[in-house]
Amino acid sequence: MKTYAVAVGKALALGAMALVDIALVALTLFAFLLTFGLGMIFVFPPTARLIRYRTAFARRLTGSWLGTAVPVPYLPQPLPARPQPDGWYRHERQLYKTPRWPDWNNRWKWMFGDPATWRDGLWLFLNPAVAAALLLLPLTLAAGAVLASRSAVPAAVSPLLGGAAVVALIAVPHLLRGYAWWNRLLLSPTAKSVLAGRVQRLDQVRLATVDSQASELRRIERDLHDGAQARLVAMGMTLGAVEELMDKDPAAAKTLLGKVREASSTALVELRDLVRGIHPPVLAERGLGDAVRALALDSPLKVTVTVDLDARPDSPVESAAYFSISELLTNAARHGGAERVSIDISSHGHALRVVVTDDGAGGADPSLGSGLRGIERRLAAFDGVLAVSSPRGGPTTATFDLPNALAEKRRDSRPLPRGKAIIVGICWGLGWLPLFPQGLVTMVMKIIDTEHLSWFLVLYLPEPLQWPLIVFNISLGLSMYVAGIIIPAMHSSRRRMAEVVPARLWLGR
């Protein structure tokens, strides 16, 4: 009973909102008239933004009230205009002194060119009608029926009216589901925009990766230049001096040689530290598990490491995971004041999952700490996602997934599910039966009009059924063979397709 009451309440509220939308539609129409009729294009962005507020609200309600999550479909907002080296801002072939106009132009293009804007508009125009038909009409009917049965009507009609009211009430939750479907149809992103968003994100990630790699190389160059290289130069010079002194003052030469040896040791130490920062030797020698164990041994904290991996990820992925764990461990010691840390590395389907938990003070925030941002950037290059849960007072749990880190090794190793395998077996095993004896051969027999009915079962049937059944048998046999080919083919390609292509591309949404 309660669920129905809630459903009716939701339906009424959503219906009322849709009625308010009529005013919004009028306003939008007016704005469009101004934009396209009179060329007042500055009216367009505020209108589009108003519509977006409305649809954002509808998306939220569809998610929280109707239980159908509707993702936000818009293309990513354009980046703010950046000045050229000469300080001017460029937009297409025009130059501007301030970023105002390029920014405005970009925003305009962003809103105008985004199909989601127009889908939003379409939704807004149709929503009053759809909501009225789906939500308000049955409720009005039910209310009308109840009112009518109260007033004087023939006794025979009144139970009928009551029944109609009950049916309308029972239908409400289903109608709400239909309404949610309608919202999702127009308000969720199209496959195109999902792809566009993904391309733009990959672009950004690529930029960040190239950027951080370049700065890493610069750091290594600087370290080598100021460290080992400089020391080697100094050693060469000292050795020259030793050569000079050898005969005149052997004692001084010996002291200098001692210095050279010291310098070579220092150079080695610096090179070792540098190598550790680029690619830790244990990681190269033993892989992620042991590298993290070595890291744990060197840490001042009490660290427990559990590793459950049956394949070794690719080296770049391993390296990203290693340095992320290293950074998380450093954070736990430096900021969290933790004493115990547990690191869990496991495979999760194709993904590599790492969970780092410490008993520190908590309060870590990815938006504040540059360390966590660095980890996010590092992981983003591999589509990795970092999730940090860190309430004040601890404990802090950082989890990251690197999807497809282990996929290469396992691809296509999974066999066909049993149900599908049986279907494929039946198709191949029995496909000949309808196709040849009951289909093609029967057809030939029918055409030459033989008296021998023998095992051509169709020919025993009444005349008008014979041709349709022959055609049906032939097509049944053919489709069995086609299914026998397509099901296994789909199985191996589908998963690979599913990894790269958004769902439901074929519906165009």
Binding site for another protein (CB under 8 A): 261, 264-265, 268-269, 272, 275-276, 281-282, 284-286, 290, 293-294, 297-300, 302, 339
Q: Toward another protein, which CB reaches closer, 172 or 292?
A: 292
Smallest distance, Å, CB 292 to another protein?
10
Counting beta carbons within 10 angstroms of the beta carbon of residue 432, is it exposed (0 to 12), middle (13 to 18) or buried (19 or more)? middle
Q: Is 498 helix (H, G, I), strand (E, B) or coil?
A: helix
The answer to whether 405 touches 350, Cβ cutoff 8 Å, is yes
Q: Toward another protein, which CB reaches closer, 360 or 439?
A: 360
Residue with tokens 């990815």: 366
Smallest distance, Å, CB 409 to another protein?
19
Q: Toward another protein, which CB reaches closer, 113 or 281?
A: 281
Smallest distance, Å, CB 356 to another protein?
17
Q: Is 143 helix (H, G, I), strand (E, B) or coil?
A: helix
Q: Toward another protein, which CB reaches closer, 330 or 475?
A: 330
49-58 as b/e: b if 16+ CB within 10 A: eebbebbeeb
Smallest distance, Å, CB 86 to another protein?
50
Checking 311-316 for CB contacts under 8 A at 24+ apart, the result is: 311/347, 311/406, 311/409, 311/410, 312/287, 312/288, 313/288, 313/352, 313/402, 313/405, 313/406, 314/405, 314/408, 316/382
Q: Toward another protein, which CB reaches closer, 80 or 281?
A: 281
Q: Toward another protein, which CB reaches closer, 195 or 235?
A: 235
Smallest distance, Å, CB 115 to another protein?
53
Smallest distance, Å, CB 70 to another protein?
50
Q: Toward another protein, which CB reaches closer, 280 or 384?
A: 280
Smallest distance, Å, CB 271 to another protein?
9
Q: Toward another protein, which CB reaches closer, 312 or 495?
A: 312
Q: Toward another protein, which CB reaches closer, 165 or 321?
A: 321
DSSP assignment of 365-387? -TTT-HHHHHHHHHHHTTT-EEE
DSSP assignment of 293-318? HHHHHHSSSEEEEEEE-SSPPPHHHH
Checking 47-54 for CB contacts under 8 A at 24+ apart, the result is: 48/111, 48/112, 48/117, 48/120, 49/111, 50/24, 51/24, 51/117, 51/120, 51/121, 51/124, 52/117, 52/120, 54/21, 54/24, 54/124
Smallest distance, Å, CB 290 to another protein?
6
Instruction: Identify any residues that bridge with 197 across adjacent strands, giving them in sequence order.
Output: none
Q: Is 92 helix (H, G, I), strand (E, B) or coil?
A: coil
Q: Toward another protein, which CB reaches closer, 302 or 334?
A: 302
Q: Give how far the C-alpha of residue 192 lies from the chain's centroid of Cα atoms, to the nearest Å.
A: 14
Question: Is the bond into 395 cis (omega within 30 degrees of 0)?
Answer: yes
Smallest distance, Å, CB 282 to another protein?
6
Smallest distance, Å, CB 349 to another protein?
28
The answer to whether 402 touches 313, Cβ cutoff 8 Å, is yes
Distances (CA, A) of 183 to 7, 60, 329: 17, 11, 45
Smallest distance, Å, CB 309 to another protein?
17
Q: Toward another protein, which CB reaches closer, 170 or 232?
A: 232
Residues 6+ apart with CB under 8 A from 424: 416, 483, 484, 487, 488
